[in-house]
């Protein structure tokens, strides 16, 4: 199957639901025969950007590196799913302009909900002062101004978020088949 490459960039606070939506989308795309690669922020930090810290400069460099890999894959016809907090608007815009075929998905879950979901205990540790420069606590998150998709996981179920993303990909010509997961 001939397909257009695109980077679908999931951004939002830790615990917002980025990875959950990303995994559901990956499964749907693979089942329909699309070539897909996932660049998850936690996995990338462990393998590609291990030496970087959490200063603004290091976070920007982390996003640049993820963007570079995403650009290479996208230009070679792969659908790339990026799930990364990517807290700073300017670096997300820089990556968007470099890649061109780019769909930003803002998982806009409120901080209070993310803290309640805190599976890894990171917010609790950040509030206790054990983790510094934690996005949403003592480091800012700059929401996208005009994301292609806005998922509100505190108000919608996974299938609704997935459907929003699939609808946008269909409108933009990156996928042509109907979403099977909801049928």
Interval 70-88: pLDDT, tens? 999 999 999 999 999 999 9
The count of domains in the chain is: 1
| Least trusted range by pLDDT, from 21-35, 47-61, 98-112 | 47-61
The two tokens of residue 165 are: 């993303």
Q: What is the set of active-site residues?
A: 86
pLDDT at 181 over 70: no
Rounded to whole angstroms, the Cα distance separating 32 from 26 reads 10
Q: By the 8 A CB rule, do 25 and 162 touch?
A: yes
pLDDT for the residue numbered 146: 96
Residue 134 lies in a domain: yes
User: Over the stretch 124-139, which tens digit does the pLDDT of each residue have?
Assistant: 999 999 999 899 999 9
Residue 176 lies in a domain: no
C-alpha dist (Å) from residue 85 to 2, 4, 142, 174, 178? 31, 25, 10, 24, 29
Q: Domain of residue 165: give its range.
A: 6-171
Query: Can you give the CATH number for the domain in which 67 is found?
Result: 3.40.50.300
Residue 55 lies in a domain: yes
Residue 177 lies in a domain: no
Reported as type and span, the H/E element at residue 8 is strand 6-11
Residue 140 lies in a domain: yes
End-to-end CA distance of the chain: 22
Residue 180 lies in a domain: no
Q: By the 8 A CB rule, do 8 and 80 touch?
A: yes
Q: By the 8 A CB rule, do 102 and 9 touch?
A: yes
Residue 108 lies in a domain: yes
**pTM of the full predicted structure?**
0.94
Residue 93 lies in a domain: yes
């Amino acid at each position: 199957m001939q397909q257009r490459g695109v980077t679908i960039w999931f951004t939002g606070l830790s615990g917002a639901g980025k990875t959950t939506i990303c995994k559901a989308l990956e499964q749907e795309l693979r089942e329909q025969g699309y070539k897909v690669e996932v660049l998850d922020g936690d996995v990338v930090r462990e393998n590609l950007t291990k030496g970087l810290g959490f200063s603004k400069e290091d976070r920007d460099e982390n996003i640049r590196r993820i963007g570079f890999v995403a650009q290479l894959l996208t230009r070679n016809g792969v659908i790339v799913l990026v799930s990364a907090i990517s807290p700073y608007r300017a670096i997300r815009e820089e990556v968007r302009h470099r890649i061109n075929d780019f769909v930003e998905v803002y998982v806009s879950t409120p901080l209070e909900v993310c803290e309640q979901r805190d599976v890894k205990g990171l917010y609790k540790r950040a509030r206790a002062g054990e983790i510094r420069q934690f996005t949403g606590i003592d480091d800012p998150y700059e929401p996208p101004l005009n994301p292609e998709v806005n998922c509100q996981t505190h108000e919608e179920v996974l299938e609704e978020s997935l459907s929003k993303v699939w609808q946008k990909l269909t409108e933009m010509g990156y996928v042509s088949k109907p979403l099977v997961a909801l049928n």
